[in-house]
Structure 1
């Protein structure tokens, strides 16, 4: 078995971007659901 790994210089991509989330500094804990 031979395995060849070739380096790739591509920028990372985001498959499912989320909307902007703003939370005040002294606000209660905030849970952000990152599931698809």
Structure 2
């Protein structure tokens, strides 16, 4: 049960980190429209 919860948290953290990386990449590429 605890392992399943950790898996969920890990997935949530990945989902949270992905958009941040996308935003940083877009900012670096100089695309202010997104």
Bigger Cα Rg: 1
Shorter-chain TM-score tier: under 0.3
Using structure 2 for the length normalisation, give the TM-score: 0.22
Using structure 1 for the length normalisation, give the TM-score: 0.22
